[in-house]
Chain A
């Protein structure tokens, strides 16, 4: 039994280590991936605050965008991390993993933990940069709680990415996923607009979107405001993470090389 646990942990750690090594090697890519949300924050923030007013007549506060953009970065890099299995298959490395005497489920889990670590690092970098740009967070404990939220939502999206990747047989499919899954998820999450006064059809879509709860929870912990009660957000995020881990692990187990 102990041996089995050791092997499982070693498998998870090995896959995590690989993601870390690859992450470290692609520093330029990380800077690139941070650029988009920062442009959003600076330009969209400036544009919004000079053009729009929040309900109640106050001018738009750019800090409103920060949690949404952190959520966006976590979503992008987590989905990316999950879907990168397609590359592993394309470039053969997947065979090396699948022929090793280890459980596929723990391989998938290790990949997920590795991917989520890189996502959280990127989310935290955005959080720090936004704070250097003058956005104020509610409290230090709130910041740590926000990191935990990034972790939980990251696990969910990486599981989703792995599940999708296990069902796609080419890297052309990757583009499809990115356009048809991630963009709608971001736009329908309340990352850019408050979700309280939306038309009914949009409300349904927004509330069916797991990222909504991630963004809402981040906004609660970082800025102290949210429309969805925080306990509900947390429960839904945890349920989503568990369901996706299970689904991703299961589909990955059935994946043919």
Chain B
């Protein structure tokens, strides 16, 4: 078996909406692979199909060598899944949740006991293992879910937005656990996220997914390198001049235009520090006045912007509201 996951033109349609459009990816065993994209891009649908929860409309996928449709039971035995929302039984203790999971996956009593201690230690929950899950914080619940997903020694672990709705400190913690279990347990991990920093920090390779299509796929470094150097943002006094300025830079060949938005132009150049004077003199030579200039190393945000013409954060607000709503309705 060459790949832990291999999809061929896998597609999911809901009525007339194409949620996942002919995606073909392959993930190597032991890889930490990220699906990055805004809410509604099709990330969750894709991993739902890979984890046999949803059936593909067309195309095929193999997980750990098994076909997700024809051999779904074998796929299930080999994967672990951490869903976006909690799927714990909050009336039971953490240990009971793990124990029930072990039983469902056919682990015998001795194996279960040993494994429960191992996974609890991994996510540092041993001390609270016998408390009712209802009393856990959001971060603890997520850690317990990760621990539970690992109980049965899966070869592939799916994490759907593993840090959604968590505070930054907890998020950093979860990142560490994910890295550790990828190294220590050697488990192949596929995670979805819309946090650029998360994908950048964790993943060995990233597929950027938008409207059901993969728009770019590579290591985070390569994705950023491909933009062609540092990002310079120019704010123009008169936004009407944007096209004119872009034409000048295009002709000159000194910079690549990434995008233009709200009177700002994003360009990438090699050795940005040294190029700024040249860039500015080209602008003033054409009589275009510039209000502000900034220079920074490219982030995945810029990569996303470059490939989709939109900033990923534009799509965030509605989702955060939704999560807030979900949490509120659960409290009832």
For the complex, give the distance between the alpha carbons of A22 and B134 in Å.
Answer: 13
Asked if A22 and B91 sit within 8 Å, CB to CB, the answer is yes
Asked if B330 and A91 sit within 8 Å, CB to CB, the answer is yes
Asked if B90 and A257 sit within 8 Å, CB to CB, the answer is no
For the complex, give the distance between the alpha carbons of A17 and B77 in Å.
Answer: 22
Task: Indicate whether B8 reaches chain A with its CB closer than 8 angstroms.
Answer: no
Asked if A92 and B85 sit within 8 Å, CB to CB, the answer is yes
Q: Nearest CB to that of A96 among chain B residues? A: B87
Asked if B103 and A93 sit within 8 Å, CB to CB, the answer is no
CB distance from B72 to the nearest CB of A (A): 9
Could you tell me which residues of chain B, from 65 to 122, have a CB within 8 Å of some CB in chain A? 73-74, 76-77, 81, 83, 85-92, 96, 100-101, 103-106
- Number of B positions contacting A (CB below 8 A): 27
Task: Indicate whether A176 reaches chain B with its CB closer than 8 angstroms.
Answer: no
Q: Nearest CB to that of A6 among chain B residues? A: B106
Residues of A within 8 A of B51 (CB): 99
Residues of B within 8 A of A167 (CB): none
Task: Indicate whether A21 reaches chain B with its CB closer than 8 angstroms.
Answer: yes
| Contact among B85, B105, B330 for A100, CB-based, below 8 A | B105
Task: Indicate whether A95 reaches chain B with its CB closer than 8 angstroms.
Answer: yes
Residues of B within 8 A of A48 (CB): none
Task: Indicate whether B53 reaches chain A with its CB closer than 8 angstroms.
Answer: yes
For the complex, give the distance between the alpha carbons of A53 and B96 in Å.
Answer: 54
Residues of B within 8 A of A13 (CB): 103
CB distance from B88 to the nearest CB of A (A): 7
- Number of A positions contacting B (CB below 8 A): 24
Asked if A101 and B77 sit within 8 Å, CB to CB, the answer is yes
Asked if A26 and B91 sit within 8 Å, CB to CB, the answer is yes
Asked if B100 and A14 sit within 8 Å, CB to CB, the answer is yes
For the complex, give the distance between the alpha carbons of A97 and B104 in Å.
Answer: 8
Residues of A within 8 A of B53 (CB): 95, 98-99, 257
User: Given that A92-B86, A95-B83 are contacting pairs, would A21 and B105 also be in contact in the complex, using a CB cutoff of 8 Å?
Assistant: no
Task: Indicate whether B193 reaches chain A with its CB closer than 8 angstroms.
Answer: no
Task: Indicate whether A49 reaches chain B with its CB closer than 8 angstroms.
Answer: no
For the complex, give the distance between the alpha carbons of A174 and B317 in Å.
Answer: 33
Task: Indicate whether A247 reaches chain B with its CB closer than 8 angstroms.
Answer: no
CB distance from A161 to the nearest CB of B (A): 19
For the complex, give the distance between the alpha carbons of A18 and B99 in Å.
Answer: 10
Task: Indicate whether B188 reaches chain A with its CB closer than 8 angstroms.
Answer: no
Task: Indicate whether B132 reaches chain A with its CB closer than 8 angstroms.
Answer: yes
For the complex, give the distance between the alpha carbons of A91 and B327 in Å.
Answer: 11
Residues of B within 8 A of A92 (CB): 83, 85-88
CB distance from B138 to the nearest CB of A (A): 14
Task: Indicate whether B52 reaches chain A with its CB closer than 8 angstroms.
Answer: yes
| Contact among A11, A22, A101 for B76, CB-based, below 8 A | A101
What are 14 pairs between A and B in contact, CB < 8 Å? Answer: A7-B106, A17-B100, A17-B103, A21-B91, A21-B92, A26-B91, A95-B83, A95-B87, A96-B87, A99-B81, A100-B76, A101-B105, A101-B106, A102-B104
Chain A residues within CB distance 8 Å of chain B: 7, 10-11, 13-14, 17-18, 21-22, 25-26, 91-102, 257
Top 5 A-B pairs, shortest CB-CB distance: A92-B87, A101-B76, A100-B104, A14-B103, A96-B87
